[in-house]
Structure 1
């Protein structure tokens, strides 16, 4: 009867505690406030930018190059940093399952075989009438199992699961951001290689112009109208311009090496990259996300928000550690010295228990942990605001650059046309003896500077357009390679929810 009363008491206590186990201490997560009506971009990008929901998937295809598309696809499949990021994401998702498992009953089995010698004197059996009693020795075989369940009265496990899910969400956003960054770096590197190819080609054309100047001075000298000084001046400019070509070729080799690293291959495996900027289309219009949409789409902003969610849940975990923890459980054991009789009910024993653990004194550790978690949550909130501010500033700067690049490019074209005409007239004037070689060389240098400045402006315009795509491509989620771990349907990894 006592056994029945004890069992009933434990079950009754467990039922009452389970009914009261809906309390979850700590702050509930609230998504950050939406950007204010005053929030916006400093520039509008002129005619080349269109405020919308932002770029879609495969934004790099707007440059109209199948070779570029292939490079990006290979980088997304083969880049080793992305592979590491995807593996880290899988680890975060498995951590969710590990934390969620702690909320379920924990069941363990055990088996033990031992040889024992019982010291009867320890139990007060010293013998009777001076007779010695030998201590018995025997085998003992034990099998059994037990189950325990943490009632999680104040939501420590629930907050821990919330934290793990938010951390996995943050890692997923970080992985998306890594894909976006790698795609942007590949596009930028390909455009840089194209610009270097164009610059080398331009330098070689300029060397041809220098050679024309040398030939022109030599012809005038042979005709008796020129001097050796004029010839040497022209030859000096030719030699000076030749000296810059090896450095450009070295930059091109380094650019190819960087592209190979982004693709996850060795430089020797990279195919020829003889394209120029004319092989790419400069997008006529770039879809730019509205400020109110940017915070919902850009991966680094969403990552910062998920980390804020995780930090908020950590406050709940630290708060719950200040409260009692109650565990229910039971075990069943079979023990006998004869292994053939170990299944007999005669050797059965069981227990049912309810355990209470309450913090009394920990030297202020638990309260300090809670205050530290609250400080970390405030830091995460400030970091989120900083990420948003930097994102708006980045988009604003790139929008302004689009407009200024267009104006500068028009001016560079005009300057190049004027310098081209000036060089032509200077040569004609030199040929008829109306001017000296210095005037021709000055016009030639102006022409070279104008052509190189025009190429530099074109390159910067392409690069700024690509950077703007990256800055506002928050809605883009890459398709993972076949060997990348993907989230199975129904996997519960929710991110921060908005009303």
Structure 2
């Protein structure tokens, strides 16, 4: 009997797991994001050129390239207090605990059983008129071990591991999105503040033009239509000011939410556009590296892995399952004598369950698992396409931002030069003040256009770092969450997995 059980155990130990073994999809062979050219640098805009370094490594603290200590402080506060990130980390810990629980199937299950009963034995069925009533005390231990011959348990743990990976990359995605939103909102808020100040200056200039025009109209020099047109332009400008103030307030409320504060209690420390430096060296990952670095792609890959493991689970359900069982115990009519050898008992054996007829349920469950795998594979490919398109869009946006800012910077410079010239001519008595006021209005309007494009250039620069994955794989193991001194992503990649992320 023991020899047969040993044979079954060897069969289980050498058994193969049914279903497909997951293989990571090959990265795309393309070497560029945009067709027909390899971007090297942008044009010089406002005296600044942005250089694209192909294949360079992305810093994990990329937001520090904007060289704003106030921005750095906001990012640290958001990492420490953001509820969405905290929730994602808790989900990751939950999936890790589920995985650890899943490993328990590879160990024997040992239980201790005890019982006490009072029984009456009828001897009449044996021809004896004497019946007896007695107590029975039992204490036993049972051991059971599931033989994973067809890999159902291994595939289940594999699926749990893939689920853990999905939660891991979900945390990274949340972390990257959080920082991107912080940087983008800080830039937007600074842009709104600058536009509000410029609009207010433009309104004052417009009011001065109206005052001078009305004086000329009263003197009979101009017709009534001229000041009416200027008042119309003034109303348009003044109507834009509340909208800018509303957007500035919304940006401040969003920042408070991102750092885990109540909007009504958060005092925002002002960050101006002058406090932000434009990063000029922009590392660009190759497309083949991007698919091993962007967390949304890695999440889709983990989902594909889970779908592959589910095929194995559904396939193994169609095969028999085997279990080894052993029991040893003592029983006695007297509790104090329960450990006497005369009352011992034991059993050892095996059992199996083999599905014979389930009405097609198991077959179609496996077929559904295959369909789910094909769906995950298509979603994985679509995620890669979306990621490459996003990087391409941002790269071209940076190129066009620089070109637009170059022209608007020149326009602003010329408008400023013309304004200064008019002011000098007015001091010399060569022009009237109305011409000076018109030149000032043109300058402030040019400045508004310039500020809008400058904000876009800063935001698109931040968007590039986010689109390329944000360098999260370069976070050192000492990097911890300020909230509870835990490693930021809780479950770190193994050294082998980290090397794959960096080199694949």
The TM-score, its normalising length taken from structure 2, stands at 0.86
Which residue of structure 2 lines up, in the alignment, with residue 466 of structure 1?
A: 462
Shift in Å, 1:233? 5.3
- In structure 2, what is the Cα distance between the partners aligned to 1:484 and 1:188? 27
The answer to whether the Cα contact below 8 Å between 2:180 and 2:463 also exists between their aligned partners in 1 is yes
Aligned to 1:153, the other structure's residue is in SS state coil
Shift of 1:407: 0.4
Partner Cα separation in structure 2 for residue 317 and residue 279 of structure 1: 56
Q: Give 2:6's aligned residue.
A: 15
Shift of 1:28: 1.1
Provide the residue aligned with 2:286 in structure 1: 290
1:224-235 alignment runs, 5 A limit: 234=230
Secondary structure of the residue aligned to 2:91 is: helix
> What residue is the counterpart of 1:35 in the other structure?
28
1:414 is displaced (CA, Å) by 2.4
Look up the match of 2:18. 25
Q: Could you tell me which of 447, 451, 475 is aligned with 1:451?
A: 447
Structure 2 residue corresponding to 1:346, chosen from 335, 342, 348: 342
Of residues 363-372 and 29-38 in structure 1, the stretch that sits farther from structure 2 once superposed is 29-38
Match in the other structure for 1:280: 276
Shift of 1:236: 5.2
Q: CA RMSD in A?
A: 3.3
1:45-72 Cα offsets, whole Å, 9 max, x none, are 4412221244121010000001101111
The Cα offsets for residues 306-349 of structure 1, whole Å up to 9 and x where unpaired, read as: 22122111111111111111111111222233222222222211
CA apart distance, 1:362:
1.1
| Structure 1 position 445, deviation (Å) | 6.1
How far did 1:151 drift?
1.2
Give the 3 Å change call, closer, same or farther, for CA 178–297 of structure 1 in structure 2.
same
**CA distances 1:228-257 after superposition (whole Å, capped 9, x unpaired):** 765665555445423322222121111111
CA 53–246 in structure 1, closer or farther in 2 if over 3 Å, else same: same
- Matches of 1:466 and 1:491 in 2, distance apart? 26
Deviation at 1:125, TM superposition (A): 5.5
Alignment of 1:266-345 (within 5 A): 266-345=262-341
Q: Partners in 2 of 1:118 and 1:375 — Cα distance?
A: 60
Decide which of 81, 84, 89 is 1:81's aligned counterpart.
84
Equivalent pairs counted in the alignment come to 481
User: Residue in 1 aligned with 2:358?
Assistant: 362
- Displacement of 1:219 after TM fit? 6.0
Contact map agreement 1:105 1:148 (CA 8 A) in 2? yes
Whether the aligned pair in 2 keeps the contact of 1:54 and 1:472 (CA below 8 Å) is no
Q: How far is 1:381 from its partner?
A: 1.5
CA distance in 2: counterparts of 1:351 and 1:433, whole angstroms: 116
Contact 2:31/2:287 (8 A) holds in 1: no
Separation (CA, whole Å) in 2 of partners of 1:147 and 1:53: 57
- Counting only pairs closer than 5 Å after superposition, residues 234-245 of structure 1 correspond to structure 2 as 234=230, 237-245=233-241
Tell me the SS of whatever aligns to 2:291: helix
Distance 1:222 1:46, change over 3 A: farther
Structure 2 counterpart SS, 1:362: coil
Indicate yes or no: 2:410 matched with 1:407.
no
Deviation of the 1:272 alpha carbon: 2.8
**How far is 1:444 from its partner?**
6.6
Q: Is the contact made by 1:45 and 1:401 (CA closer than 8 Å) also made in structure 2?
A: no
Q: Answer yes or no: is the 8 Å Cα contact 1:34–1:292 preserved in 2.
A: yes
Residue in 2 that maps onto 1:481: 481
Q: Which stretch shifts more, 315-324 or 395-404?
A: 315-324
Q: Determine helix, strand or coil for the equivalent of 2:324.
A: strand
Task: Check 1:203–1:366 CA distance in 2 against 1; reply closer, same or farther (3 A cut).
Answer: same
Which moves more between the two structures, 19-28 or 334-343?
A: 334-343
Instruction: Report the secondary structure of 2:22's partner residue.
Output: coil
Report the Cα distance in structure 2 between the residues aligned to 1:496 and 1:366, rounded to whole angstroms.
Answer: 38
**CA displacement 1:169-226 (0-9 Å, x = unmatched):** 2221121121111110111111111111111111122123123324434665788866
Query: Does the aligned pair in 2 maintain the 1:398–1:468 contact within 8 Å?
Result: yes
Cα deviation for residue 475 of structure 1 reads: 3.6
After superposition, the Cα gap between the structure-2 partners of 1:295 and 1:393, relative to the gap in structure 1 and judged at 3 Å, is same
Alignment CA distance shift 1:28-1:334 (3 Å) = same
- Corresponding residue of 2:67: 64
1:359 CA drift (Å): 1.2
What corresponds to 1:5 in structure 2? none
1:474 to partner: Cα distance: 5.1
1:200–1:245 CA contact under 8 A, matched in 2: yes
When the two structures are superposed, what TM-score results if normalisation uses the length of structure 1?
Answer: 0.86
Distance 1:155 1:492, change over 3 A: farther
